[in-house]
Amino acid sequence: MSNTLLEVKNLKKYFKTTKGMLHAVDDISFTINRGETLGLVGESGCGKSTTGRVVLRLLESTAGEVLFGGADVLAFNKKELRRFRENAQIVFQDPFASLNPRMTVAEIIGEPLVINKKTSNRADLYKRVIKLMDTVGLASRFENSYPHELDGGRRQRIGIARALALNPSFIVQDEPVSALDVSIQAQILNLMDELQKEFKLTYLFISHDLGVIKHVSKNIAVMYLGKIVEMSDYSSIFKNPLHPYTKALLSAIPIPRVDKKRERIILEGDVPNPIEPPPGCRFYGRCFCRKDICKDTDPELKQVSETRFVACHVAT
C-alpha cells in the first residue's frame, strides 16, 4: 500500500462574478503521506480555505484531480462520496458558527452516528457520545449544554469530537485555533497532536500563522493569491526561506526574547486583483527583490532539492 494518502494535482477553483472569473485556487499540487500533517499557510484571501473545501468536495472544483487513497474524489458518485465523507472530515474556524445552537452537545456529537446509522440503539449512541467527549477532554456534565453556554475552547472540542465520530483517517483543520485565546490555542493544538498519534490521523492544517504551523506540521506549503509559492519540510523553511513572500511571513513572527531581534520585512504595494491576475509573478508588485523577468513570466513551482519546491525566478 502506498504511503501517500492524499494527492492533489493541478487543482483549480474559479468563482464566477459580475466582473469576471475570480481565481481563488489556480493550478496547485501537493501530497500528504499517511499519519502526517501538511501546513497550508498564507494571508487572508489567498485561497487556502477554498482548497480545503474543494479537497472534501464541499465546493466543486473547476479543474484538476484529488486522489484519496488512489481514487479520484472529484469523480465520485453520490454513494462513493458518502463513503468518502465518513473517512474525511473537517474542523471549522469558528466553533460557534459551525455548531447548531438548537442542539445539545450530545446531539451535535451524535448526529453523524445517527445520520450514517452507526448505532443500533439509544444506549449504544449515548455510550459512544460520552466516549468521544472523554477522548477530546470534554466533561460529561456538558452533555445537555448548548453551544452558547460554553467557551470557545470547549466549543472547538465539540467540533473535534464530531469530526472523530465516524473514525476518519483524514481531517482538514481550517484555522481551528485562530478564534481562540492564546492559552486555549495551545490546549487545542496539543489535543490534536495527541489525537493524531493515537488514531494515526492525517491532517491538512490551514492557517495564516506560521508560528502555529511550525508546531503542528512536518511539511509546509506557502500560498499566495491562489498559487503555492514554496513547499518544504518545516525546518528548511524556517532556517532558510527561499521565496521573498515566505521571508516576509517569517519576519512577522514575534521572538519572545528581548535580547534577540529579527529584521521585519514590510511589504509595500497592494495584493493584485484575483479576478484579473497579472501575467507574471503575482507577488511582483510587492516583492523587494524583483527582476524584469518577474513582471511578464509566471514562475513555475520547481524542485530545487529532494524535499524543496519554490516558484521564484530570483530564488532559483
Q: Grade residue 182 by pLDDT with cuts at 50, 70 and 90.
A: confident
Q: Which whole number is the average pLDDT over 250-268?
A: 72
Q: pLDDT tens-digit profile of 272-291?
A: 889 988 889 999 989 988 89
Q: How many CA atoms lie within 13 A of 268 on its CB side?
A: 3
Residue 266 CB neighbour total at 10 angstroms = 8
% the chain with pLDDT above 90:
73
Q: Which whole number is the average pLDDT over 204-219?
A: 89
Cβ partners under 8 Å of residue 290, min gap 6: 281, 284, 314
Give phi and psi for 191, each to the nearest 5: -60, -45
Residue 258 has pLDDT above 60, yes or no: no
Residue 264 has pLDDT above 80, yes or no: no
Q: What is the pLDDT of residue 17?
A: 92
Q: What is the pLDDT of residue 261?
A: 64
Q: Grade residue 1 by pLDDT with cuts at 50, 70 and 90.
A: low
Residue 120 has pLDDT above 90, yes or no: no
Residue 256 has pLDDT above 70, yes or no: no
Q: Which whole number is the average pLDDT over 236-264?
A: 80
Q: What is the pLDDT of residue 242?
A: 93
Point out the least confidently predicted range of 99-108, 121-130, 261-270: 261-270
Q: What is the pLDDT of residue 180?
A: 83
Q: State the average pLDDT for the chain.
A: 91
